[in-house]
Amino acid sequence: MRALIVDDERLARKELMSLLSIHDNVEVIGEALNVDDAKEKIEQQQPDVIFLDIQMPEKTGFDLLEELDHVPLVVFITAYDEFAIQAFQVNALDYLLKPIEPERLAETLKKLERKLEELKNEKEDVESSPDKLTLNDQVFVKDGDRCWFVKLANVRLFESDGNYIKVYFDNNKPMIHKSLNALDERLDEKSFFRASRKHIINLSWVESIEPWFNGGLVVTLKGGDRIEVSRRQAARFKDLMSL
């Protein structure tokens, strides 16, 4: 597995690199000392996992995850218990408390191997352009003190709200600071459909379709959300759904 270490403390990075060096299944492809540095390296090198310090000057590890389009597997590293608890609540793959214990790191690497094998099997079942986000990818969503890693398969709807997007999954509707147009360009068109100026729907969540005014359609999603498909998009939607 290809790993990137993100930590503002040089000694902490060197210590983790030393601990990882004894494991043959890990290749450390780089280090980053802040969020901007990490974002550039993640986008260029596409690591399988990032070992991410939460508390860094100016921008935190959570800020980094909010800025990424594609979020790799994440193991949080922190010196503070309260951050470790928060990291665990957002469903990170794992978290490590500083100073890192070799036995605890070994457990984390086993988890990573299992998860990467699972993701590999899922990706073999999905054909898509490599630069598009598929149902198997995950996004990081932060709303106040609450954070989630959300698999796109579980997101039924994206809704534009000013300069933000409301993300519908489970019983949650947190907001992310992105434009719907930018998101639309990143999503795999086989799985997601731009229903209107305000909405992108997950096609796997479509439960029923009915005619609407002026040649439009109304799509009902599993869970009850009703979304109007504009007349301009209705013909394309029918073709896509083979209606």
Domain ranges of the chain: 2-124, 141-240
Q: What CATH homologous superfamily does 141-240 map to? A: LytTr DNA-binding domain (2.40.50.1020)
- Helices (H) and strands (E) counted in the chain, each on its own, are 7, 15
Quick: pLDDT tens for 15-42: 999 999 999 999 999 999 999 999 999 9
pLDDT in the model for residue 143? 80
pLDDT in the model for residue 90? 62
Residue 74 tokens read as 């994440």
pLDDT in the model for residue 28? 96
What is the distance between the alpha carbons of residues 212 and 191, in angstroms, rounded to a whole number?
23
> Which CATH architecture does the domain made up of 2-124 adopt?
3-Layer(aba) Sandwich (3.40)
pLDDT in the model for residue 43? 92
pLDDT in the model for residue 158? 97
What is the distance between the alpha carbons of residues 116 and 108, in angstroms, rounded to a whole number?
12
**What residue ranges of the chain have pLDDT lower than 70?**
83-91, 123-130, 243
Q: Identical fold at 2-124 and 141-240?
A: no
101 φ, ψ (degrees, to nearest 5): -90, 135
27-32 vs 49-53, strand pairing mode: unpaired
pLDDT in the model for residue 212? 86
Quick: pLDDT tens for 37-78: 999 999 999 999 999 998 898 999 989 998 988 889 999 998
Query: What letter represents residue 94's amino acid?
Result: D
Strands (DSSP E) contained in 2-161 are 2-6, 27-32, 49-53, 73-78, 94-97, 138-143, 146-151, 155-161
pLDDT in the model for residue 128? 53
